Amino acid sequence: MTVSFLFEYVKIKMFFKETAPMTSRALYMEKTVEKVPFIKVTPPGPSAREIIGKDERYVATTTKSLPVVAKRARGLVVEDVDGNLLLDFSSGISVLNVGHCHPRIVDAVTRQVKELMHFAGTDFYYDIQTSLAQKLEEITPGDFDKKTFFANSGAESIEAAIKIAKWSTGRKRFIAFIGAFHGRTMGALSLTASKPVQKQRFFPTMDGVVHVPFAYCYRCPYKLEYPSCDLWCARTIEENYLNTFVPPDEVAALFGEPVQGEGGYIVPPKEFYPLIKRMLDKYGILFADDEVQAGLGRTGKMWGIEHFGIVPDIITISKSLGSGIPISATVFRSNLDFGTEGAHSNTFGGNLVGCASALATIQVIQEERLVENSARKGEYFKKRLMELYQKYDIIGDVRGLGLMLAIELVKDRRTKEYAIEERDKLLMEAFKRGLILLGCGKSGIRLIPALNVSEEQIDTAVEILDNSLASL
């Protein structure tokens, strides 16, 4: 299939005019570049390798996934330090739901920076923080009064949720899922269960967390099949945990992602969370919904949990909320509030610049109907990925909701043996061809473009994936 590339000559011209002074290099690019991706030198190029070397020398080891060294970006296009133009289907780990440097976000941040950058919203007052809290009450599930605690990252929003649950219920235990990722700070880490390396050498974490299997139907931990399984993975929580060794009256909350993110972009059956919520309500256990990666339109609905028709007691939000400016929010039933000053606080939570970016982000998502676009383009994207599934046996599964999609690679479709090395090679092959992707789970690849992605961009990404798979 011949694919027309997204950006024609005029659009590339606009890209450079908007993002940089018109240097002689930019003028040269303006005359020669006619499509994106544009590979000037196979990445990582010489400038990129120099910076990577400095990073390895001076920056702490984290989770570097690909040797991308970005210089500037607009929309879904990233220019690296060697002049390559790359198509970004990672969205900064699902942070850039409205794309890189959306002009309305940039304008809102710029205006706020010129007025006031910081004034400790935990200790003093300003309107933009209260306006954002009001907006979050309006757009999150649940027709009841809510309050919001602001912080800086997804992990911090989870830490706040843990403390809110403990404080309001007086209970000390929690339930979380195998495969879950809720962050790496010590409280959040106690809930996380997606990779051994995340916990190695950090024991002990917070005590009192019990992990139960998730509804990973492609690799059912009970070796059953949906729907004949009768959702045993949900029903067993009560039968074999709460009725056996976990006292339900000591459990403060169950934490769950509507779609497991780091664990592999695993979508549970539609009955999974409703069954669990009924069980939680029976024992007075709170449901904490981790929307850090799935929220704000990523799944084709504003919140991932809306696919399951239930209302959580606590919702944690971050990543795409600030479109690249660090901010997070923990939204909860107002009757769960601490009610005592000093029980929980921070310095930068509710930062003015973060609030300005978040309000502008929500406005863009709503006014540009990006949730609806996520649903439509996600359906189209999934159809294109199924074409690759039919063509390549190495793809064992295609799954996801909206534009929260993944393919899982296997050595053999019958045995479902993980194809970890092949996954890593595929990420590099796609990168060298100009497509930025991220892994997830043991051998999965997540496909998470900005919600304003076009069909042409999706077609380009599929063509690159096709060529990369063929090269394996």
Rounded Cα gap, residues 217 and 227, in angstroms? 10
Q: Checking phi first, is residue 270 left (phi over 0); if not, alpha (psi -120 to 50) or beta?
A: alpha
Phi, psi of 87, rounded to the nearest 5 degrees:
-90, 120
Percent of the chain with pLDDT over 90: 88
- Interval 244-254 mean pLDDT: 97
pLDDT beyond 70 at 346: yes
Arithmetic mean of pLDDT, 50-58 = 95
For Cα atoms 420, 424, 429, give the angle at the middle one, nearest 5 degrees: 140
Question: Which residue from 350, 294, 303 is spatially nearest to 325, judged by alpha carbons?
Answer: 350
Please state the domain extents for the chain.
106-367, 370-472
Long-range CB contacts (< 8 A, 24+ apart) of 17-24?
18/74, 19/72, 19/73, 19/74, 19/79, 19/101, 20/72
Return the SS3 of 112. Answer: helix
pLDDT of res. 220? 97
Going from the C-alpha of 414 to that of each of 216, 275, 418, 420, the distances in angstroms are 17, 31, 11, 16
Tell me the C-alpha to C-alpha distance, in Å, between residue 370 and each of 117, 301, 406, 454.
Answer: 29, 9, 20, 11
Mean pLDDT on 324-348 = 94
Q: Which pLDDT band holds residue 29 (cuts at 50, 70, 90)?
A: very low
Q: What is the pLDDT of residue 390?
A: 98
At 9, the pLDDT band (50, 70, 90 cuts) reads: very low
Cβ atoms < 10 Å from Cβ of 415? 9
Q: Please report, as a single letter, which amino acid is at residue 433.
A: R
Q: Are 15 and 6 in contact (CB under 8 A)?
A: no
Give the whole-angstrom CA distance, residue 230 versus residue 182: 28
Tell me: pLDDT of 413 over 60: yes
Domain 106-367 classified CATH 3.40.640.10?
Answer: yes
Amino acid at 435: L
Mean pLDDT, rounded, of the chain = 92
Q: What's the CA gap between 257 and 259, in Å, rounded?
A: 5
- The pLDDT score that the predictor gives to residue 325 is 97
Of the chain, the percentage scoring pLDDT greater than 70 comes to 93
Amino acid at 95: V
**What is the reported pTM?**
0.91
Selecting from 1.20.140.70, 3.10.20.30, 3.90.1150.10, 3.40.50.720, what CATH number does the domain 370-472 have? 3.90.1150.10
- Asked whether residue 11 carries a pLDDT value surpassing 60, the answer given is no
Query: How confident is the model over 260-273, as a mean pLDDT?
Result: 97
Q: Burial level of 124, CB count in 10 A (0-12/13-18/19+)?
A: exposed
- Give the pLDDT of residue 28: 36
